[in-house]
Amino acid sequence: MPKVEAVVESPLPPQTVREGLLDFSPGRPESWPGIYAPLYEVYEVGDTYADIREGSKVPGGVIWAKEHYDWSDPDTVTWTVRESNFCAPGSYVSARITPAGSGGSRIHITWNRTPTSLAGRVAAFLIVATRGAPVTGSLRMGLKRLEAKGPS
Protein backbone atom coordinates (compact mmCIF):
# COMPACT_ATOMS: atom_id res chain seq x y z
CA MET A 1 0.00 0.00 0.00
CA PRO A 2 1.35 3.44 -0.84
CA LYS A 3 1.63 5.28 2.47
CA VAL A 4 2.25 8.90 3.39
CA GLU A 5 2.35 10.52 6.82
CA ALA A 6 2.10 14.27 7.35
CA VAL A 7 1.30 16.79 10.06
CA VAL A 8 -1.04 19.77 9.80
CA GLU A 9 -1.46 22.35 12.57
CA SER A 10 -4.62 24.38 13.13
CA PRO A 11 -5.60 27.14 15.56
CA LEU A 12 -8.82 25.20 16.17
CA PRO A 13 -8.99 23.19 19.40
CA PRO A 14 -8.86 19.37 19.04
CA GLN A 15 -12.56 18.94 19.89
CA THR A 16 -13.59 21.32 17.07
CA VAL A 17 -11.37 19.49 14.56
CA ARG A 18 -12.82 16.15 15.66
CA GLU A 19 -16.40 17.46 15.43
CA GLY A 20 -15.67 18.76 11.92
CA LEU A 21 -14.29 15.42 10.77
CA LEU A 22 -17.32 13.68 12.24
CA ASP A 23 -20.00 16.02 10.91
CA PHE A 24 -22.04 13.70 8.71
CA SER A 25 -24.81 16.23 8.14
CA PRO A 26 -26.02 17.16 4.63
CA GLY A 27 -23.65 20.18 4.83
CA ARG A 28 -20.50 18.02 5.01
CA PRO A 29 -19.54 18.60 1.35
CA GLU A 30 -19.59 22.37 1.98
CA SER A 31 -16.99 21.98 4.73
CA TRP A 32 -14.64 19.53 3.05
CA PRO A 33 -13.48 20.51 -0.46
CA GLY A 34 -12.64 16.97 -1.58
CA ILE A 35 -16.23 15.75 -1.21
CA TYR A 36 -18.38 15.96 -4.35
CA ALA A 37 -21.93 16.52 -3.04
CA PRO A 38 -23.77 14.27 -5.56
CA LEU A 39 -21.70 11.28 -4.38
CA TYR A 40 -22.12 11.91 -0.66
CA GLU A 41 -24.42 9.48 1.13
CA VAL A 42 -24.81 8.50 4.78
CA TYR A 43 -25.85 4.91 5.45
CA GLU A 44 -25.56 4.69 9.24
CA VAL A 45 -24.13 6.69 12.14
CA GLY A 46 -23.54 5.10 15.54
CA ASP A 47 -21.91 6.26 18.76
CA THR A 48 -18.34 5.62 17.55
CA TYR A 49 -18.73 4.77 13.86
CA ALA A 50 -20.36 5.79 10.59
CA ASP A 51 -20.79 4.13 7.21
CA ILE A 52 -20.87 6.62 4.37
CA ARG A 53 -20.00 7.10 0.71
CA GLU A 54 -17.80 10.00 -0.34
CA GLY A 55 -16.24 10.83 -3.66
CA SER A 56 -14.48 13.45 -5.70
CA LYS A 57 -14.68 14.78 -9.22
CA VAL A 58 -11.48 14.14 -11.14
CA PRO A 59 -10.51 14.78 -14.76
CA GLY A 60 -12.45 12.23 -16.79
CA GLY A 61 -14.93 11.19 -14.12
CA VAL A 62 -15.41 10.56 -10.43
CA ILE A 63 -13.78 8.45 -7.75
CA TRP A 64 -15.73 7.20 -4.75
CA ALA A 65 -15.41 4.99 -1.72
CA LYS A 66 -17.83 3.54 0.79
CA GLU A 67 -15.98 4.21 4.03
CA HIS A 68 -16.32 2.98 7.59
CA TYR A 69 -15.43 5.80 9.98
CA ASP A 70 -14.27 4.77 13.46
CA TRP A 71 -13.62 7.18 16.33
CA SER A 72 -13.61 4.73 19.25
CA ASP A 73 -10.13 6.07 20.11
CA PRO A 74 -10.80 9.59 21.47
CA ASP A 75 -7.70 11.03 19.73
CA THR A 76 -8.03 9.32 16.35
CA VAL A 77 -10.53 9.20 13.51
CA THR A 78 -9.92 6.45 10.94
CA TRP A 79 -11.87 5.90 7.73
CA THR A 80 -11.42 2.53 6.07
CA VAL A 81 -12.55 1.58 2.57
CA ARG A 82 -15.26 -1.08 2.34
CA GLU A 83 -15.88 -0.68 -1.41
CA SER A 84 -14.45 1.70 -4.00
CA ASN A 85 -13.93 2.33 -7.68
CA PHE A 86 -10.30 3.45 -7.15
CA CYS A 87 -8.73 1.70 -4.14
CA ALA A 88 -8.80 -1.64 -2.36
CA PRO A 89 -10.94 -2.52 0.63
CA GLY A 90 -8.89 -2.12 3.80
CA SER A 91 -7.18 1.01 2.50
CA TYR A 92 -7.49 3.78 5.06
CA VAL A 93 -6.79 7.31 6.21
CA SER A 94 -6.42 8.25 9.85
CA ALA A 95 -6.20 11.56 11.65
CA ARG A 96 -4.68 11.63 15.14
CA ILE A 97 -5.68 14.94 16.73
CA THR A 98 -3.69 16.22 19.70
CA PRO A 99 -3.32 19.61 21.38
CA ALA A 100 -0.64 21.86 19.88
CA GLY A 101 1.54 24.09 22.04
CA SER A 102 -0.17 27.11 20.47
CA GLY A 103 -3.54 26.16 21.96
CA GLY A 104 -4.74 24.74 18.67
CA SER A 105 -4.40 21.26 17.21
CA ARG A 106 -1.77 19.06 15.68
CA ILE A 107 -3.28 16.61 13.19
CA HIS A 108 -1.10 13.65 12.22
CA ILE A 109 -2.47 12.20 8.98
CA THR A 110 -1.68 8.69 7.78
CA TRP A 111 -2.81 8.11 4.19
CA ASN A 112 -2.56 4.42 3.28
CA ARG A 113 -4.40 3.45 0.09
CA THR A 114 -3.88 0.64 -2.41
CA PRO A 115 -4.99 1.79 -5.87
CA THR A 116 -7.06 -0.53 -8.05
CA SER A 117 -7.72 1.64 -11.12
CA LEU A 118 -5.83 3.99 -13.40
CA ALA A 119 -7.31 7.01 -11.58
CA GLY A 120 -6.29 5.46 -8.26
CA ARG A 121 -2.74 4.78 -9.46
CA VAL A 122 -2.37 8.35 -10.74
CA ALA A 123 -3.74 9.78 -7.48
CA ALA A 124 -1.50 7.53 -5.37
CA PHE A 125 1.56 8.45 -7.43
CA LEU A 126 0.87 12.18 -7.04
CA ILE A 127 0.16 11.90 -3.32
CA VAL A 128 3.32 9.88 -2.64
CA ALA A 129 5.51 12.01 -4.96
CA THR A 130 4.39 15.24 -3.25
CA ARG A 131 4.61 13.74 0.27
CA GLY A 132 0.87 14.13 0.73
CA ALA A 133 0.42 17.69 -0.56
CA PRO A 134 -3.06 17.06 -2.05
CA VAL A 135 -4.22 15.42 1.20
CA THR A 136 -2.81 18.09 3.51
CA GLY A 137 -3.98 20.87 1.19
CA SER A 138 -7.54 19.56 1.24
CA LEU A 139 -7.43 19.17 5.04
CA ARG A 140 -6.12 22.74 5.45
CA MET A 141 -8.92 24.09 3.23
CA GLY A 142 -11.52 22.21 5.26
CA LEU A 143 -10.04 23.50 8.52
CA LYS A 144 -10.14 27.07 7.19
CA ARG A 145 -13.83 26.58 6.37
CA LEU A 146 -14.43 25.32 9.92
CA GLU A 147 -12.61 28.37 11.30
CA ALA A 148 -14.79 30.66 9.20
CA LYS A 149 -17.97 29.05 10.57
CA GLY A 150 -16.95 30.03 14.10
CA PRO A 151 -18.03 28.21 17.26
CA SER A 152 -20.80 25.67 16.81
| Averaged pLDDT of the chain | 93
Per-residue confidence (pLDDT) for residue 119, from 0 to 100: 85
Q: Shortest CA distance to 76 belongs to which of 51, 106, 100? A: 106
Burial of 117 (0-12, 13-18, 19+ CB in 10 A): middle
Confidence of residue 151 (pLDDT cuts 50, 70, 90): low
Per-residue confidence (pLDDT) for residue 1, from 0 to 100: 66
Rounded to 10°, the helix 133-149/14-21 angle is: 110
Mean pLDDT of 100-113: 93
pLDDT tens digits for range 53-72? 999 988 888 999 999 999 99
Mean pLDDT of 35-45: 97
What whole-number percentage of the chain has pLDDT above 90?
Answer: 82
Q: What is the CA radius of gyration of the chain?
A: 15
